[in-house]
Amino acid sequence: MHALRKTNFGILIIICTLFISGISIGQPDPCSSQVGLTCELSSTYTLPSATGVLNPATGPWGTPGSEAIFSYTPTTSGTFDIQVTNDNYYVDLFIQTSSCAANGWIYVDDIWANSVNSFSLVAGVTYYFLIDDENTTVSTGIINISCPCFSPPGGIDNSVSILTPLTSIVSNTLSSCNDCNFRSSPDQILEVEISCPGNYTFTLCEGATWDTYLYLSEQPCGGVVLAYNDDDCGLQSTISITLNPGVYYLAIEGYSSISAGAFDLSISTPCSFSPLPVELVFFEGENQGRENLLSWQTATEHNNDYFIIERSEDGIQFDQITLYPGQGSSNDISNYSFIDNSFEGTKNYYRLTQVDFNGEMETHNTIIVQSESDAELMVYPNPSDGLLTIETNDKSENSILTIKNSMGQLIFNQEFPKSNQIVLELNEDSGVYFVQLQTRNESFIKKIILR
């Protein structure tokens, strides 16, 4: 009897040892170790050899493996791309907004190596992303969420007048929107003004390292497509075409939604041009508190009478703010500067126009100067029983006030009064709500609780 007890005890020790050293040890609750995401900054994950604790049943595949959870709270509403990579078998991606909990996960995708999914996210709402392994072996990868994308005014990223036989445009599509439906990639739209009729070549050969497309059309992202090219030189593109004087639009696109990068576009033509009235080296701006410092430099000037500086709050309607005398004719470098201390808002557009003695003028590229705002949105009392006072010290007109619940559903929407204060009585269920004031230049968000 005594020996039998010893044997059973030994078997028990062996069984416990095998269980502890096996590959299916359960992991702790992943909600307790969730990681906050920052847009455009990749976060890594490692799913160890373990069984998970959530294993949502909403997906088409079983996910017995370990899990990782990431959270993100956008400051602006919009479309965001979530990229997830994986180095071992399959992982599944899930999302939920209520809280990080065992239930409520919505299946998104089954990921073998690399996948990008787009989500419409609401400002101020916290979203949770669950990566769950379909087996119990180790898997590693990254998760990345794109920063919100705001299209430029009129959908045009840059403008250029072709006044020399060779023109170079250096930019990138990494932070661009997908404004055109030519491809699924982010793109740059270049407005090209042609003054000399003749043959023109637009090329990215030796000017990009990623898979590019070029589309030349009569309208931004549309109209008649005059020419396009995919792989004229390796993965890069070239268009050669005869053009009459006029304005054309060149879309620099990528092969797919993840094709983007820096580029150096070369535009060449055999046309002969008259000497430039002004060879502009740069035009740039910098915010210095309540002042915007504008600076520009010329390499040469020919019959240059003066410069016009214009300012706009929307990039479309410009107003003249000053005239600045030129050097007449000069082959030396000339530096200019102007301080604007009468601007409003946090985002201002400036453009520089050069005027000859004979009245002919040339408008150069538009620049943007961004400044910090001391404006704020105040909502009180918070928590509230439903009666709210909302006010702001922002002086912008035509601002829009919206209120949404935690599911992103709109419950209030109207233009904010010019008195900059409004009193509302909300007859809504208890819970979390988000008050957003969208002004001409920025967006304010406050989270409130209704009791």
pLDDT at 343 over 80: yes
Provide the pairing of β-strand 431-438 with 400-405: antiparallel
Q: Are residues 78 and 60 in the same domain?
A: yes
Q: Which of 121, 145, 169 is the last residue of a domain?
A: 145
Residue 118: predicted pLDDT: 87
Q: Are residues 443 and 412 in the same domain?
A: yes
Of 379, 371, 368, the closest CA to residue 437 belongs to 379
Residue 8 in any domain: the answer is no
Separation of alpha carbons 129 and 447, rounded Å: 21
Q: For residues 94 and 202, state if they share a domain.
A: no
pLDDT of res. 397: 72
Over residues 182-198, the mean pLDDT reads 92
Calculate mean pLDDT across residues 341-354.
87
Q: According to the per-residue pLDDT averaged within each range, which of 221-230, 271-280, 393-402 is highest?
A: 221-230
Geometric angle at alpha carbon 342, from 336 and 346, rounded to 5°: 95
User: How many percent of the chain have pLDDT more than 70?
Assistant: 91
187 burial type by CB count under 10 A (0-12 exposed, 13-18 middle, 19+ buried): buried
Return the top range by mean pLDDT from 24-38, 168-182, 208-222, 344-358. 208-222
Q: How sure is the predictor about 192, in pLDDT bands with cuts at 50, 70 and 90?
A: very high
Tally the domains of the chain.
4
Mean pLDDT, residues 73-95 = 90
What is the per-residue pLDDT for 270? 93
The answer to whether position 15 is within a domain reads no
Residue 2 lies in a domain: no
pLDDT in tens, 356-377: 998 888 888 788 888 766 567 8
User: Contact, 120 vs 404, CB < 8 A?
Assistant: no
- Structural domain span for residue 408: 377-450
Stronger pLDDT, 417 or 141, i.e. the higher one: 141
Give the pLDDT band of residue 6 (cuts 50, 70, 90): very low
User: Is pLDDT of 149 > 80?
Assistant: no
Across the chain, mean pLDDT equals 86
Q: pTM score, two decimals?
A: 0.45
Residue 16 lies in a domain: no
64 and 126 share one domain: yes
Give the list of residues 6+ apart from residue 38 with CB closer than 8 angstroms, or none.
none
The last residue of one of the domains, among 236, 268, 300, is 268
Q: Are residues 40 and 121 in the same domain?
A: yes
Q: Are residues 71 and 182 in the same domain?
A: no
Residues 293 and 348 in one domain: yes
CA–CA separation, 92 and 110 (whole Å): 5
Residues 82 and 172 in one domain: no
The yes-or-no verdict on residue 14 having pLDDT over 70 is: no
Is the pLDDT score of 3 beyond 50? no
SS3 196: coil
Quick one: average pLDDT of 393-401?
77
Mean pLDDT over 189-193 rounds to 94
Position 22 confidence tier, pLDDT thresholds 50, 70, 90: very low
Note whether 26 and 129 are same-domain residues.
yes
Rounded Cα–Cα distance for residues 247 and 216 (Å) = 11
Tell me how far apart the alpha carbons of residues 106 and 218 are, in angstroms, rounded to a whole number: 44
CATH number at residue 425: 2.60.40.10
- The confidence score (pLDDT) of residue 316 equals 78
The residue-averaged pLDDT of 261-282 equals 87
| pLDDT bucket at 237, cuts 50 / 70 / 90 | very high
Would you state the pLDDT for residue 440?
A: 65
pLDDT-wise least confident of 1-10, 77-86, 330-339: 1-10
- Give the pLDDT confidence score for residue 77 in this predicted structure: 82
Residue 106: how many other CB atoms lie within 10 Å: 13
Q: Minimal CA–CA distance to 250: which of 220, 275, 224? A: 220
Question: Which of 5-19, 177-191, 362-376 has the highest mean predicted lDDT (pLDDT)?
Answer: 177-191
Task: Identify the residue with better confidence: 20 or 274.
Answer: 274
Residue 42 counted as domain residue: yes
Tens-digit pLDDT profile for residues 113-139: 999 998 888 888 999 999 999 999 999
Domain membership of residue 273 (yes or no) is: no
Q: Is the pLDDT of residue 94 over 60?
A: yes
Same domain, 140 and 32: yes
355 shares a domain with 249: no
In a domain, residue 386? The reply is yes
Instruction: Tell me: do 32 and 92 sit in the same domain.
Output: yes
Average of per-residue pLDDT across 376-399 = 85
Does some domain include residue 1?
no
Identify which has the larger pLDDT, 264 or 365: 264
Span 240-258, mean pLDDT?
93
Is pLDDT of 23 > 60?
no
Final residue of a domain: which of 94, 118, 145? 145
Q: pLDDT tens digits, residue range 155-170? A: 888 888 898 899 989 8
On the question of pLDDT at 16 being above 70, the answer is no
User: Which CATH number do you get for residue 140?
Assistant: 2.60.120.380
